[in-house]
Amino acid sequence: MAQFDYDLFVIGAGSGGVRAARVSAGMGAKVAIAEESRYGGTCVIRGCVPKKLMVYASAYSEMFEDARGYGWTVPEASFDWAALKTARDAEIDRLEGIYRKILGGSNVEMIDSRAHMVDAHTVGLADGKRVSAKTILIVTGGRPALPDFEGVEHTITSDDIFELETQPESILCLGGGYISLEFACVFHGLGTKVTVSNRSTLLRGYDGDVRAHLIEALEEKGIDLRLGVNPVKIEENAGRKRVTFDDGNTLTVDAILAATGRRPNTDNLGLEEAGITMGRAGAIEVDEYSRTNIPSVYAIGDVTNRVQLTPVAIREGMAFAETVFNDNPTSPDHELIATAVFTQPEIGIIGLTEEQAREKHDVAIYRSTFRPMINVLAGREEKMLMKIIVDKTTDRVLGVHIVGHHAGEMIQCAAIAVKMGATKADFDRTMAVHPTSAEELVTMRDPVTES
């Protein structure tokens, strides 16, 4: 019988890799994990967590304005970018320390080095050392993908946002996806003049009512939306960037965020040389159990380009450990995944869009647009949107879409019901919690009239 240095060697210490490593170790495996950067991966270090902290920070500008409507005398507020950066970075350092502590407490050997595949059972490290493993798990995540046009080197990516020492007075956010729009809202809330440009609409693939509602809200906030145009050239002069669009218009700003997509982080990992099959955009192809075409090699998370969400990578890591080290073949469930977009207003979704549902179902649409109570005394006109999509034949709820205060929190709870196969009748017989915005989910009785 072949002898290996480790039962499992994990390449990449993001959320999915850390979960897979420690759970596998808890099942009795001898495990090592290699990371060339920081433990916690994109989500903890340069993604979800620091971004959400910035979302919270940016929301205070409207809170200060709204407080006056509730009787508070609020002095003129000012924002200190350096203070936020210091506090945010300290929290990220704390979280990384927790990740390392968890791994150490699970008897996972941590190797602070870049690692790459050599063959089906061998991993090479940056210092030239080679180690062997019965099973290798690749969890190297993804990275921002830059568009291709003249002067793109003058842009920054979502990774770079967290390294900015000073706040730009003006910024152009390139892209219509959630990363571009979340940061557009963050910078707007912090006082930066924001422009968003995209070659098509915003949030392509999301429900049409959600997209229209968000576009209206962003425009009302004063964010400059330039849709249907592409940048063709960026020129830098005295630290400022001048963008030329394909319609001939120009724009000069202090910073440009290129958030036009992400790609799997598979370059220079020795994957092709090891014989691993690669798919679109450099993603690692895997089967339903996250196994590659090489039986001893698995991959989970964004590197597989299945569903690029941190909780999905964590769930895939759990399924991997069950499959390989607990003799319990487990396929991660990628159906009906709830998600949130932390724009302002916030978005929460689960299930099918109306457009998707109409392709295969005879549907009834329940939709409500209203001003939430919190905005009334504040004098803020921003409205919420709630939408439920129902199969007329089975009465099953196919999708729930929320735009507004605490949409992410609400959709997590709604997702449980939708995942269980709840019907509209189940929603209707659920007693409302009053006064809340969420009660609208169980009080919409009549479908909208189809045109």
Residues 6+ apart with CB under 8 A from 147: 174, 231, 258, 260
Contact call for residues 118 and 275 (beta carbons, < 8 A):
no
Asked about 434 being catalytic, the answer comes back as yes
- Kind of pairing between the strands at 193-198 and 6-11: unpaired
pLDDT given for residue 256 in this prediction: 98
**What structural domains does the chain harbor?**
6-144+263-325 (3.50.50.60), 152-260 (3.50.50.60), 339-442 (3.30.390.30)
pLDDT of amino acid 450: 67
Q: What is the pTM of this model?
A: 0.95
Which residues, at least 6 apart from 244, have a Cβ–Cβ distance to it below 8 Å?
A: 231, 232, 233, 234, 235, 250
Q: Are 251 and 288 contacting, i.e. CB atoms less than 8 angstroms apart?
A: no
Which pLDDT belongs to residue 124?
A: 98
- Cα-flanking dihedrals φ and ψ of residue 208, to 5°? -60, -40
**Tokens 């924002």 label which residue?**
79
pLDDT in single tens digits along all 451 residues of the chain: 469 999 999 999 999 999 999 999 999 999 999 999 999 999 999 999 999 999 999 999 999 999 999 999 999 999 999 999 999 999 999 999 999 999 999 999 999 999 999 999 999 999 999 999 999 999 999 999 999 999 999 999 999 999 999 999 999 999 999 999 999 999 999 999 999 999 999 999 999 999 999 999 999 999 999 999 999 999 999 999 999 999 999 999 999 999 999 999 999 999 999 999 999 889 999 999 999 999 999 999 999 999 999 999 999 999 999 999 999 999 999 999 999 999 999 999 999 999 999 999 999 999 999 999 999 999 999 999 999 999 999 999 999 999 999 999 999 999 999 999 999 999 999 999 999 999 999 999 999 986 4
pLDDT at residue 451 in the model? 46
Specify whether the CB–CB gap between 378 and 65 falls below 8 A. Answer: yes
Q: Among 116, 334, 405, 434, which one carries the catalytic annotation?
A: 434
pLDDT value for 2? 60
